[in-house]
Structure 1
Amino acid sequence: MTEDGRPGVEHQIDQWRAWVLRREAITTGDAAELEDNLRGRIADLRAAGLDDDEAFLVAVRRMGNLDDVSREFARAHSERLWKQLVLPPSRPSRADGHWRDLGVLIALAVGAGIAVRWLLVLEDEGRFALNVAFAVLPFLAAYFAWSRRLPARAAGALAVMAAALAVVVNLFPFFADEPGVGLSTTAVLAATHLPVLLWLLLGVAYTGGAWREHARRMDFVRFTGELVVYFTLLALGGGLLTGLLLATFDVVGIDAEPFVQSWLLSFAVPGAFLVAAWLVEAKQSVVENMAPVLTRVFTPLTLGLLVAALVALLAGGPLTAVDRSLLVLMDGILLLVVALLLYAISARDPITAGGPFDWLQLGLVVTALAVDVVALTAMASRIADAGWTANKAAALGLNVVLLVHLVGTGWLLWRFLRAHGTFDAVERWQTRYLVVYAVWAAVVVLVFPPAFSYA
């Protein structure tokens, strides 16, 4: 920051680079070359007597091949320094490119539907639960690898890791004695943690291989939040249409339920998921963003839910007597809190000063910490009384991971609100900690089954 409180030129360049990298037509290499060009222009303008702000503004203005990007950036950050940019007239939209991307994605969605349908043909619910993520997420990763021009080496490494995971998980003797029966405890844990691990691998494809860059990881967090919103809307609409379809055929005496279950849903659900991803990408050029609105609506509601959960935990008698189902629900609520927190942080302007909503978020974090500590105490008490199981170990480990995440977030938010730190530090803690979730998911998927004898 400069002495008068304005963001320094390095921070401005970071913001500019992050925005440039969100454009699917620009690779990481392109962005690096453009940044070098921008820095050279800034240095020349400084030498000519301009101060940092003026040099940055003029340099960005002269990046003629990025007029569209600069225009969008200025509009989305109109309350900041960027509004001073004198932008050229708008160029034609990229609608044609978006429709081309949609065509590629629909083809991949059909492939995902075929893969899901093949899993259903096996008529093995256990195998389906273990492999459904492998049937959908690789197709979305392929779309990002294509649209982001992912280097062949990175694409190959991701494919090898995903294939190795699929082989290892399917070789585990979960069904050795009674094939076709329900999943064992460790198999359920593997099935629930596999999507998390694969999703973070997908993030490497989304970032075009630039996973080490904080701005790109934050873009992936933002994408994840908006994907959930779009997919939920599509699912609600699709569910309504499916209900009307079944009702219509039922009136004329035709049972359409087998077709819907066996074929329609096999293609519609993964198709809606991939189309939702395309919609998130296509709307990047739209100035209005739903994230700030959603986070401001759901943050106070979630805080109220957390307080109620804390009361339920403390009113449930001795911690050793807390019902196991209640502890599972607490973990679910804590995961929701972390997801909402990530989404809210990704939607916030990191340059603006702290305000009432930031204090509300700090209250959310502190309350979540209290719930986590109580839940951890209850879990430790249950383990001391009844011993270890795969479920207890997984729950305890997840709560420890969440505890560290929340402590770090709370501390950095407090420093930011007390003007002893920056919001950029809060952001970087979130994106760096994603690796911890990936490691923990890998431990549960690959280590827990043999450690607990696949039971």
Structure 2
Amino acid sequence: MTVDSENGLEGQIAEWRAYMDRRRELHRNDADELEDHLRDRISELTESGLRPDEAFLIAVKRMGSLDEVSREFAREHSERLWKQLVLPGEPDASTAERPRRELLAMVICAGVAAVGFKLPALFGFGLDDDAYFYARNFSLFALVPLAAYFVWQRQVGIRVIGVLAALFVLGAVAANAYPLDEDSQSAVLTAIHLPLALWLVVGVAYVGGDWRSGRRRMDFIRFTGEWLIYFVLLALGGGVLTAFTAGTFAAIGLDAEVFISEWLLPCGAMAAVVVAAWLVEAKQSVIENMAPVLTRVFTPLFAVALLAFLGALVWTQNGIDVERDVLILFDLLLVVVLGLLLYALSARDLTARPGLFDRLQLALVVTALIIDVVVLLAITGRITEWGFTPNKSAALGENLILLTNLAWSAWLFFGFVRGRAPFARLERWQTGYVAVYAVWAWAVVLLFPFVFQFD
């Protein structure tokens, strides 16, 4: 099998799978099983001497005889030659039992997250007096129930559950056992990086333990973007609820500030983490229409903003301030750029030819790459002058990681735009690079306090 035929086959399978994922009556685990069957049949047919495209056509026909959803896929894609190979039929109506069970599981996990956040108060940890404790542990309160929700939904094995439990315990130890002062740089870095490390642990639960699969990692990347959109929407709705709660109670002479600040906002935020995940799973057909539109809207806007920043930097010849808040701002900016790239990758038709939007994305990545180089020069200059500190070391490492990702992404994107490299290579690079972020986040949480003597 040649590289071109392999890429063409993967594009056909990706399009077939994208349709399957859009079917609300077809659960993701069922789609995984169907894809495994399809790939097995294609492998058997190619080993018998058929070309990949012929094997795909015949495999789809045989899948159509086994599953009604595959038949509808062929029917709707009437322009495809292999549509004629599939027998007509109507999809089975989905039952309401599974959605009800998932709703109940979501309510339980969201309730555990909300109640769990208040349990430390029973042991004397007040939200006002022990804010540092909650800053270190809020990701544990929110993400452990979220991981439990996916463990139930994906029906993962006991070995994966053991790995997840061990990683969450390791995160809890790192957050609470180290002798870190509240105002130490290592404490702040732990509070920032632990949520990222634990979010990727949730990713292991989300993919059912199949973290080696690039496709499943891309599913998690897509889920992360969709979850963020729903969480922001829930937060906006929560802000309206908070305003009405405060206003209505004030109208009868009652001050609801304590209830809002100590119960409604923190418990609601913890529960919203799980609710947003459930909404992504239950309403995929809605969010999949919204997210690509947002990506196409904000990609040109961010490209213009970054170009304007570079122009101002050259015009004024002012250096970049490398204080912690500024470094966090630039890192977040670069992460947003990568997020736009990742979500555009996850929503793209792998068989489509490069177009204007792809060139715009390439410009965005190259601009972000230049800004990352400028930030790195500023950081290394300060380190040369003042030496290493936890903040500057973390910023240096993160920007080097982002630089590597952006540089190779730009190169692969450039090859794709010129028609010299398949788009799938860029997708494989991004999904594989997720492991680098995980290793770095855990290194900052676990090793930095020792390296810098808990400073």
Does the CA-based 8 Å contact 1:379-1:392 persist in structure 2? yes
* CA 360–166 in structure 1, closer or farther in 2 if over 3 Å, else same: same
* CA 78–354 in structure 1, closer or farther in 2 if over 3 Å, else same: farther
Which one of the candidate residues 7, 26, 29 is aligned to 1:26? Answer: 29
* CA 58–69 in structure 1, closer or farther in 2 if over 3 Å, else same: closer
Deviation at 1:263, TM superposition (A): 1.7
Which one of the candidate residues 50, 54, 66 is aligned to 1:51? Answer: 54
Deviation at 1:37, TM superposition (A): 5.5
- Aligned residue type for 2:98: G
Residue 172 of structure 2 corresponds to: 166
Deviation at 1:344, TM superposition (A): 1.4
Deviation at 1:251, TM superposition (A): 1.1
How far apart, CA to CA, are the structure 1 residues paired with 2:208 and 2:74? 21
Deviation at 1:319, TM superposition (A): 3.4
How far apart, CA to CA, are the structure 1 residues paired with 2:179 and 2:392? 21
More displaced stretch, 354-363 vs 336-345: 336-345
* CA 15–46 in structure 1, closer or farther in 2 if over 3 Å, else same: farther
More displaced stretch, 331-340 vs 353-362: 331-340
How far apart, CA to CA, are the structure 2 residues paired with 1:315 and 1:322? 20
Deviation at 1:41, TM superposition (A): 7.7
Residue 250 of structure 1 corresponds to: 250
Residue 137 of structure 1 corresponds to: 143
Deviation at 1:6, TM superposition (A): 10
Residue 89 of structure 1 corresponds to: 90
| Aligned residue pair count | 445
How far apart, CA to CA, are the structure 2 residues paired with 1:246 and 1:309? 40
1:62-77 pair list within 5 angstroms: 62-64=65-67, 67-68=68-69, 71=72
* CA 37–262 in structure 1, closer or farther in 2 if over 3 Å, else same: same
1:50-449 pair list within 5 angstroms: 51-64=54-67, 67-68=68-69, 71=72, 88-119=89-120, 122-123=125-126, 124-175=130-181, 182-284=182-284, 289-315=289-315, 317=317, 319=319, 325-449=325-449
Gaps of 5+ in 1: 176-181
How far apart, CA to CA, are the structure 1 residues paired with 2:162 and 2:354? 43
1:31-46 pair list within 5 angstroms: 34-35=37-38, 38-39=41-42, 42=45
Residue aligned with 1:453, SS: coil
- Aligned residue type for 2:207: T
How far apart, CA to CA, are the structure 2 residues paired with 1:211 and 1:71? 30
* CA 339–320 in structure 1, closer or farther in 2 if over 3 Å, else same: closer
Deviation at 1:452, TM superposition (A): 1.1
Residue aligned with 2:94, SS: coil
More displaced stretch, 229-238 vs 306-315: 306-315
Does the CA-based 8 Å contact 2:7-2:424 persist in structure 1? no
* CA 314–396 in structure 1, closer or farther in 2 if over 3 Å, else same: farther
* CA 17–69 in structure 1, closer or farther in 2 if over 3 Å, else same: same
Residue 178 of structure 1 corresponds to: none
Deviation at 1:8, TM superposition (A): 3.6
Does the CA-based 8 Å contact 2:194-2:441 persist in structure 1? yes
How far apart, CA to CA, are the structure 1 residues paired with 2:185 and 2:79? 52
Deviation track 1:182-227 (CA, whole Å, cap 9, x = no partner) reads 3421011011001111111111110111111111000000000000
- Identical-residue share of aligned pairs (%): 44
* CA 323–268 in structure 1, closer or farther in 2 if over 3 Å, else same: closer
More displaced stretch, 80-89 vs 2-11: 2-11
Residue aligned with 1:362, SS: helix
How far apart, CA to CA, are the structure 1 residues paired with 2:375 and 2:442? 23
Does the CA-based 8 Å contact 2:189-2:445 persist in structure 1? yes
How far apart, CA to CA, are the structure 2 residues paired with 1:329 and 1:287? 27
Does the CA-based 8 Å contact 2:110-2:145 persist in structure 1? yes
Deviation at 1:351, TM superposition (A): 1.4
Deviation at 1:83, TM superposition (A): 6.3
* CA 53–27 in structure 1, closer or farther in 2 if over 3 Å, else same: closer
Does the CA-based 8 Å contact 1:169-1:446 persist in structure 2? no
Does the CA-based 8 Å contact 2:214-2:431 persist in structure 1? yes
Deviation at 1:324, TM superposition (A): 6.1
- Aligned residue type for 1:381: G
Deviation at 1:5, TM superposition (A): 8.8
- Aligned residue type for 1:298: F
* CA 356–272 in structure 1, closer or farther in 2 if over 3 Å, else same: same
* CA 356–448 in structure 1, closer or farther in 2 if over 3 Å, else same: same
- Aligned residue type for 2:354: G
- Aligned residue type for 1:420: R
- Aligned residue type for 1:122: F
Deviation track 1:319-374 (CA, whole Å, cap 9, x = no partner) reads 37666654442222111111221111111111111100000000000000110011
Does the CA-based 8 Å contact 2:15-2:349 persist in structure 1? no
More displaced stretch, 182-191 vs 114-123: 114-123
Does the CA-based 8 Å contact 2:164-2:201 persist in structure 1? yes
Deviation at 1:80, TM superposition (A): 6.3
How far apart, CA to CA, are the structure 1 residues paired with 2:287 and 2:139? 33
How far apart, CA to CA, are the structure 2 residues paired with 1:447 and 1:345? 33
Residue aligned with 2:209, SS: coil
* CA 196–32 in structure 1, closer or farther in 2 if over 3 Å, else same: same
Q: TM-score when scaled to structure 2?
A: 0.88
Does the CA-based 8 Å contact 2:226-2:287 persist in structure 1? no
Deviation at 1:420, TM superposition (A): 0.8
Gaps of 5+ in 2: none
* CA 288–133 in structure 1, closer or farther in 2 if over 3 Å, else same: closer
- Aligned residue type for 1:128: Y
Residue aligned with 1:290, SS: helix
